[in-house]
Structure formats: structure tokens, C-alpha cells
Amino acid sequence: MRSFKKLLAGTALCMTSALILPVQAADARDEAGKLLFTKGAVPACAICHTLEAAGAAGAVGPSLDELQPDAERVRKALKNGIGVMPAFPLLTEEQIEILTTYVARASRGQ
């Protein structure tokens, strides 16, 4: 019976860890995305765009809170530019992925 209780406790611990680790990873990626949005991209997205989750109140570009772009739309804008927004060729693929996921999630209040 003791072995079963230890096994059960170990299984519960593993299951709890499996639930917590993805949340922590998502939080870390959101923080990285917010940092890219506010400071990391050159010029910073926050200069032009409003995004409440990032504390940004830009006045040049559209409000991302209102636009609510999906990740693919953000990715295309970063890679190709759109309207007066320039492309961001210095961002790595990983940075683009982090930023696109962040903007898509943050603008939709998710």
C-alpha cells in the first residue's frame, strides 16, 4: 500500500509540473514579446502602436487593441512592412515568432 501511495504522489507531482511548466514558459515568452514590442524592435512597436497589455499608447499606427491582428498578419507586417510601417529585417525568426504570438494574444485579451 505504501508503494502505491508513493507512486500516486509521484504521479500527482509529475502531472502538476506538467501543467505549471507550460504556463511558466508562456509567461516568459509573453514577457519577451512585451520587451520586443516596447524596446527590442528598432524602431520600437510601442512608438507607433497602442497595445494596452504592453502599456503602449502610440499615435501613428493603428491601435492593435482595436485591430486585433492574428499572428500571421503581424508576421507579414514585420517581414514586408505595410503602409508607412517599415519591415524589420534585423529581427531573427525567433524574435518574429515571439513578437507575433505576443501581439496576437495581447491584442485579443488572451
Q: What is the pLDDT of residues 13-32, one digit of tens each?
A: 444 444 444 545 568 888 99
CA proximity to 98, closest of 42, 27, 44, 43: 27
All cell numbers assigned to 63: 491601435
Domain limits of the chain? 25-107
Q: What is the pLDDT of residues 45-58, one digit of tens each?
A: 999 999 999 999 99
pTM score of the predicted model: 0.74
Which CATH topology does 25-107 take?
A: Cytochrome Bc1 Complex; Chain D, domain 2 (1.10.760)
Q: Which residues make Cβ contacts (< 8 Å) with residue 72, sequence separation at least 6?
A: 100
How many contiguous H segments (helices) and E segments (strands) does the chain have?
5, 2
Do 8 and 20 meet the contact criterion of CB atoms below 8 Å apart?
no
Higher pLDDT, residue 6 or 69: 69
Residue 73 has pLDDT above 90, yes or no: yes
